[in-house]
């Protein structure tokens, strides 16, 4: 009976959107089948129609919206009734900032239905993201499966978003010069090319080359990451590991890049930010995390271009000239 309901929903969308079977409807069903089955049969047709429309318009947040709508229904909300959703939102045990996101995502579906509401006001308190130690990150990556571990190593070394990493193709990697091109930037970011380590290149080379993209499915990577992370946190008795999410690697990378360079414009370019205001958080994070760290500097003098180049190659920064000599420094 449920299977027949899915077929009816699919036929409904095909008629209403003019999309042939085997096209975007089938793709949408395949990508979101688990979530779609969780909706009541009478609502599934509209949900599928909404999802197909979003994806045809190029939006990449369909799965996240469906997950939120599913949560609202599970908590007793009636999606056709905004007042019911408001009442349900009060009883969902999540932060106000998350409730604000839920309201915005539900509003997209409500507008699709032709409905209106007065969105409830939730003012989430801003908080600094969790920044683990490098040792915790390396422990986690070492314990992950080959594919998930490689995904996280790329995230650690590039600071790219999960969706950007999932879109990386084999042709985006220059194995000889050890470069990765982020050619599918998200949230209006700039594309960029980032140098990676021999370790990262080796891990990538261990993956099968059976498709254009390095990683087959972001949802599968995320699911396996959460399962394996939980297992390791229990094994090491370190609950801090549970606070590491796929986006945490981006925050860790931005914070450490600023600590190494003290150059906010470098971090902006590295992360692909269009607006430098989005990068400023890493200044505060760096100051908070490394305030107890050793801030002593090692000084070196270069008497010619060759000596200066060698110092720069090992991380020294130019300070000034004194006579014919050039003075460089490096933290630590």
Q: Is 90 exposed, middle or buried (0-12, 13-18, 19+ CB in 10 A)?
A: exposed
Domain check: are 10 and 108 in the same one?
Answer: yes
Tokens of 259: 């600590």
Do the domain assignments include residue 282? yes
Do the domain assignments include residue 129? no
Helical packing angle, 281-289 and 248-261, nearest 10°: 80
Domain check: are 280 and 141 in the same one?
Answer: yes
Domain count, the chain: 3
Q: 20 pLDDT exceeds 60?
A: no
Judged by average pLDDT, the poorest of 120-124, 263-267, 277-281 is 120-124
Distance, in Å, from the CA atom of 13 to the CA atom of 19, rounded to the nearest integer, reads 8
Judged by average pLDDT, the poorest of 19-28, 80-89, 300-309 is 19-28
Do the domain assignments include residue 233? yes
Q: In the structure, what pLDDT confidence band is assigned to residue 41 with cuts at 50, 70 and 90?
A: confident
Q: 148 pLDDT exceeds 80?
A: yes
Domain check: are 41 and 159 in the same one?
Answer: no
Domain check: are 165 and 90 in the same one?
Answer: no
Tokens of 236: 């090491």
From residue 306, give the alpha-carbon distance in Å to each of 15, 151, 300, 313: 71, 38, 13, 11
Domain check: are 186 and 141 in the same one?
Answer: yes
Task: Give, as one character, the DSSP assignment of residue 278.
Answer: G
Domain boundary among 84, 113, 142: 113
Tokens of 80: 């056709």
Q: Given phi > 0 = left and psi -120 to 50 = alpha, else beta, which region is 81?
A: beta
Domain check: are 153 and 274 in the same one?
Answer: yes
Domain check: are 223 and 308 in the same one?
Answer: no
- What are the φ/ψ torsions at residue 138 (nearest 5 degrees)? -65, -35
Q: CATH code at 172?
A: 1.10.443.10
End-to-end Cα distance, the chain: 68
Domain check: are 254 and 279 in the same one?
Answer: yes
Average pLDDT (167-179) is: 97
Domain check: are 64 and 154 in the same one?
Answer: no
Domain boundary among 78, 113, 148: 113
- From the CB of residue 304, how many other CB atoms can be counted at a distance below 10 Å? 10
Task: Give, as one character, the DSSP assignment of residue 190.
Answer: P
Domain check: are 141 and 265 in the same one?
Answer: yes
Do the domain assignments include residue 125? no
Domain extent at residue 240: 134-289
Q: Is 203 within 8 Å of 217 (Cβ atoms)? A: no
Query: Looking at the chain, how many residues does it have?
Result: 332
Q: State the pLDDT at residue 19.
A: 45
Do the domain assignments include residue 308? yes
Tokens of 61: 């947040």
Do the domain assignments include residue 122? no
Tokens of 39: 């909706």
Do the domain assignments include residue 75? yes
Do the domain assignments include residue 119? no
Taking the model in full, what pTM does it have? 0.69
Q: 85 pLDDT exceeds 60?
A: yes
pLDDT digits (tens, 9 = 90+) for 91-144: 898 888 889 999 999 999 999 999 999 999 887 666 789 999 999 999 999 999
Domain check: are 311 and 266 in the same one?
Answer: no
Domain check: are 96 and 238 in the same one?
Answer: no
* Closest to 241 measured CA to CA, from 152, 313, 164: 152
Q: What percent of the chain has pLDDT over 70?
A: 86
């Amino acid at each position: 009976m449920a299977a027949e309901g899915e077929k009816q929903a699919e036929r409904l969308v095909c008629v209403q959107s003019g999309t042939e079977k085997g096209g975007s409807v089938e793709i949408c069903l395949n990508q979101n089948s688990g979530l779609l089955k969780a909706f009541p049969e009478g609502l599934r047709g509209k949900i599928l129609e909404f999802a197909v429309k979003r994806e045809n318009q190029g939006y990449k947040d369909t799965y996240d919206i469906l997950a939120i709508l599913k949560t609202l229904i599970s908590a007793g909300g009636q999606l056709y009734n905004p007042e019911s959703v408001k009442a349900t939102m009060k009883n969902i045990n999540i932060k106000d900032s998350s409730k604000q996101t839920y309201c915005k995502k539900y509003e997209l579906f409500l507008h699709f239905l032709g409905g209106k509401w007065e969105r409830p006001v939730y003012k989430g308190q801003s908080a600094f993201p969790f920044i683990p130690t490098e040792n915790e990150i390396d422990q986690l990556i070492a314990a992950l499966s080959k594919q998930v571990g490689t995904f996280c190593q790329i995230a650690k070394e590039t600071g790219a978003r999960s969706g950007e990493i999932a879109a990386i193709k084999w042709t985006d990697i220059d194995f000889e010069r050890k470069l990765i091109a982020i050619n599918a930037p998200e949230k209006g970011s700039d594309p960029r090319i980032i140098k990676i380590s021999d370790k990262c290149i080796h891990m990538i080379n261990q993956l099968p080359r059976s498709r254009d993209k390095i990683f087959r499915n972001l949802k599968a990577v995320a699911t396996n990451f959460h399962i394996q992370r939980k297992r390791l946190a229990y094994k090491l008795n370190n609950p801090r590991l549970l606070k590491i999410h796929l986006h945490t690697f981006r925050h860790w990378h931005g914070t450490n890049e600023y600590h190494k360079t003290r150059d906010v414009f470098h971090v902006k370019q590295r992360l692909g930010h269009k607006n430098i205001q989005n990068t400023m958080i890493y200044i505060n994070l760096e100051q908070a995390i490394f305030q107890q760290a050793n801030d002593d500097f090692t000084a070196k003098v270069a008497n010619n271009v060759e000596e200066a180049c060698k110092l720069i190659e090992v991380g020294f920064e130019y300070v000034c000239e004194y006579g014919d000599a050039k003075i460089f420094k490096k933290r630590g």
